[in-house]
Structure 1
Amino acid sequence: MKLAVAVLFDSTQARAAAVAFDAWDAAEATKTFVSHITHVEKAPRGALDLRELPCVMQLLREHDLEPELILMDGFVHLDADETPGLGLHLYQALGGKVPVIGVSKKGLPGLSTQFEVMREEETPPLLVTCAGIDIGAAKARLRAMHGRKRVPTLMKLATRLAKNKD
């Protein structure tokens, strides 16, 4: 089982959501999971924002999830020199056993075109960084994901679940 995860913050609380899928081209989730985090500290000024890390870890523990791979919105590395981002911290927190693919719609100055993935013509590329999986394989899998738009369907679903307050 692979997971697409998303975390949404609301003041001092958060919602972490995960969408489970088996095939990279799956149009629908095999199962979904949501966790409510009742207290989240503010991100320290000038430091890497790691508030999502304990939220994702709680989601995995709460639902007893052991994914073979995690797909997240954000960066695993912040530049080509592999400066650690949230995704690398997640990879390390999972003992380096679960590959993490970070996908972002926004670029960072230290990321060259080798990290870009085009999913739709005439739209800006997505940026992909990863740990525990080859960058070429990560890009190919992201390209294979369902959805005609820039962001894959299952990543959009994870975000919607994290935003849903019901």
Structure 2
Amino acid sequence: MKLAIDVYYYPDRAKAVGILFENWKQSEPDEIITAFISDVAKYEPGSFYKRELPCILELLKQVDMFNLELIIVDGFVYVDNDQKAGLGKHLFDALNEEIPIIGVAKNPFAKNKKLVREITRGESKKPLYISSVGISILDSASNIQNMQGDFRMPTLLKMLDQETKR
């Protein structure tokens, strides 16, 4: 099973949503899980993971980790070309480096270009920025590239974004 996760922040809490799916070509998730987190850290520039990681770990309490093949996060695995840990790497480490992580970002980050693959989907000219740990970057980019959907964002990831903000 694969899990894509996103977190949305309200003034006084956060909502973490996960979409579980088996096949990269699916257009509907097998399951949607949600966690509300009331004690959320303030945003700290350069340390986004300090805010997001606890929310993700709370959501993961609902998942059978034994059957989890990989996790997709909204963001980067590394924040610079020297492999300074970003959200994805911090999550990988928190999970004892046992579950591969794919980062899918909508905007570029200038300092990590060597560790990111840009992909375009559908007729979009604007790329997605793919990074990974525990799985090859080429496989990661190919898997996201080939997910269901005719637009820039794969159908399941678009659905996740909408569900998170709902």
Bigger drift between 95-104 and 72-81 goes to 72-81
* Deviation of the 1:161 alpha carbon: 1.7
Q: Which residue of 1 aligns with 2:131?
A: 129
Match of 1:117? 119
Residue 122 of structure 1: CA displacement?
4.3
SS of the residue corresponding to residue 60 of structure 2 reads helix
User: What CA distance in whole angstroms lies between the structure 2 residues aligned with 1:8 and 1:41?
Assistant: 13
CA distances 1:52-88 after superposition (whole Å, capped 9, x unpaired): 1010100111x13312100111001113322210110
- What's the % identity of the aligned pairs? 35
Q: Deviations over 1:133-155 (max 9, x none)?
A: 00000011001101111011111
Q: Which residue of 2 is the match for residue 47 of structure 1?
A: 46
Matched, 1:158 2:166: no
Determine helix, strand or coil for the equivalent of 1:112.
helix
The 1-side partners of 2:34 and 2:158 are apart by 14
Indicate the RMSD between aligned Cα atoms, in angstroms.
1.4
The AA in structure 1 aligned to 2:57 is M
Q: TM-score, normalised by structure 2?
A: 0.92
Aligned length: 162
Quick one: which amino acid aligns to residue 47 of structure 2?
L
Aligned to 2:7: 7
Structure 2: 5+ residue runs without aligned partners?
A: none
1:1-166 equivalences under 5 Å are 1-44=1-44, 46-50=45-49, 51-61=51-61, 63-66=62-65, 67-112=68-113, 115-164=117-166
Q: 1:64 to 1:14 in 2, by over 3 A?
A: same
Q: Distance in 1 between matches of 2:112 and 2:46?
A: 19
Equivalent position SS for 2:28: coil
Contact 2:2 2:22 in 1 (8 A): yes
State the alpha-carbon separation in 1 of the partners of residues 8 and 153 from structure 2: 17
Determine the C-alpha separation between the residues in 2 that align with 1:16 and 1:4: 11
TM-score, normalization: structure 1?
A: 0.92
CA distance in 2, matches of 1:122, 1:155: 16
> What's the offset of the Cα at 1:3?
0.5
Q: Tell me, yes or no, if the aligned pair for 2:78 and 2:112 is still in contact at 8 Å.
A: no
Structure 1 gaps, min length 5: none
For residues 13 and 109 of structure 2, what CA distance do their matches in structure 1 show? 27
